[in-house]
């Protein structure tokens, strides 16, 4: 690949630091940037966790100094709040379960950042995601990383052909232990820094408590409690807000009476309008089909039925499926039934290691 002028998004973690270093070593003209995403840094997670804190900005700056590249901080806090945080609140208030990291990649890192980078004369954006981009005669393709344990193609399934053409993922062919060892050899102090796993804007990891505070502050109309019922409508207990639950949840239901068969109950459905949360057995969680909306294809949309695999969670396995793309709607027939699939989650479509695209789950069809 000929040298290019590239922007390296540096979160303050080890992956983005090594990605920037590799791009620099490959001969690219690299400028590092850190995204300031919180309007009030004290309101987001604290501690060295690799995303969104003051400590992370300092770690990213030190890494850029070691690599020998210019470094800047871009304030995208307003855009992040509107496009990611507010979307997260809207989805939970509507009884859905969103993936904020996927939304951040779509609207911040590969929309706001890439658009600004291109406007400033940069050719591409470099990130530390574990995925690969391959150039073909028909364009560019997004593929899984070689290290399946770290593969992040699921949260990149929202990228379009134009965005992929301006994206570099230098870590796609490397395992995480090798990245940490390389960071140590390069003298990067983040070599042993823990990975970030929690939602960056939920400071203490208590999503339910955070939602309770923010939904109240926002003035959104949400229920303050309701009934826990079984599939027949029998009231089993009460809850303090349907937005505290997600489909497939088992813990925290606080139902006083055991199920007739003595087995655990799970959340099957959430109705924010009535405030009703329906629970049932694990078998009742099984779905063999779903309908998704807002598709985003990494290339051309499929023109007919596609025999493929799909992934329904960021760290979930692949399921055999047949996908039908119909304009703004995608129908997925699951040949391998799944459990605990919630509206609001993303379905990402694969053929082999290649990502075809993704869509947002709107409805599921319960297996017989």
Q: Which residues belong to the active site?
A: 104, 200
Render 46-79 in DSSP notation, one character per residue.
-SSSSSSSHHHHHHHHHHHHHHT--EEEEE-HHH
- Beta-bridge partner residues of 121: none
How large is the greatest C-alpha to C-alpha distance in the chain, in angstroms? Answer: 67
Rounded distance between C-alpha atoms, residue 180 and residue 62, angstroms: 16
C-alpha 19/C-alpha 360 separation (Å) is: 29
Locate 122 and state its tokens.
């940069």
State the Cα–Cα distance between residues 210 and 302, nearest whole angstrom: 40
Residues near 22 by beta carbon (within 8 Å), at least 6 away in sequence: 170, 171
Query: Edge-to-edge, what's the strand order for the sheet holding 266-271?
Result: 235-239, 226-229, 276-280, 266-271
Spell out where 163-305 has E strands: 167-168, 226-229, 235-239, 266-271, 276-280, 287-297
The DSSP bridge pattern shows strands 167-168 and 287-297 to be unpaired
- Cβ atoms 336, 362 nearer than 8 A: no
Q: Is 271 left (phi over 0), alpha (psi -120 to 50) or beta?
A: beta
Residue 113 main-chain phi, psi, to 5 deg: -70, -50
């Amino acid at each position: 690949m000929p040298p290019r002028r590239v922007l390296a998004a540096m979160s303050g973690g080890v992956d983005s630091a090594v990605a920037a270093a590799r791009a620099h070593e490959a001969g690219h003209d690299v400028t590092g940037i850190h995204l300031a995403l919180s309007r009030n840094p004290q309101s987001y997670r604290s501690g060295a966790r690799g995303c969104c804190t003051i400590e992370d900005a300092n770690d990213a700056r030190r890494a850029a100094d070691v690599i020998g590249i210019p470094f800047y901080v871009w304030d995208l806090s307003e855009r992040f709040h509107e496009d990611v945080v507010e979307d997260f609140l809207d989805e939970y208030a509507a009884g859905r379960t969103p993936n904020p990291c996927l939304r951040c990649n779509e609207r911040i890192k590969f929309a706001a950042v890439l658009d600004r980078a291109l406007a400033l004369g940069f050719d591409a954006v470099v990130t530390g995601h574990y995925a690969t981009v391959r150039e073909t005669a028909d364009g560019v393709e997004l593929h899984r990383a070689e290290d399946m344990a770290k593969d992040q193609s699921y949260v990149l399934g929202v990228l379009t052909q134009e965005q992929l053409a301006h994206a570099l993922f230098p870590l796609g062919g490397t395992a995480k232990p090798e990245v940490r060892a390389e960071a140590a050899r390069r003298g990067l102090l983040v070599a042993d820094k823990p990975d970030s796993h929690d939602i960056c804007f939920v400071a203490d990891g208590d999503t339910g408590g955070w939602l309770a505070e923010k939904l109240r502050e926002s003035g959104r109309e949400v229920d303050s409690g309701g009934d826990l019922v079984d599939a027949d409508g029998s009231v089993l207990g009460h809850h303090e807000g349907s937005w505290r639950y997600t489909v497939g949840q088992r813990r925290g239901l606080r139902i006083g009476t055991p199920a007739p068969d003595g087995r655990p109950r799970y959340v099957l459905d959430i109705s924010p309008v009535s405030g009703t949360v329906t629970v049932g057995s694990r078998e009742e969680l099984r779905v063999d089909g779903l309908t998704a909306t807002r598709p985003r294809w990494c290339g051309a949309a499929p023109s007919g039925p596609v025999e493929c695999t799909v992934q329904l969670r960021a760290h979930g396995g692949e399921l055999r499926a047949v996908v039908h793309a119909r304009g703004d709607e995608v129908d997925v027939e699951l040949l391998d039934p799944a459990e605990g699939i919630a509206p609001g989650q993303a379905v990402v479509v694969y053929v082999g290691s290649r990502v075809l695209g993704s869509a947002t789950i709107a409805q599921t069809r319960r297996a017989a």
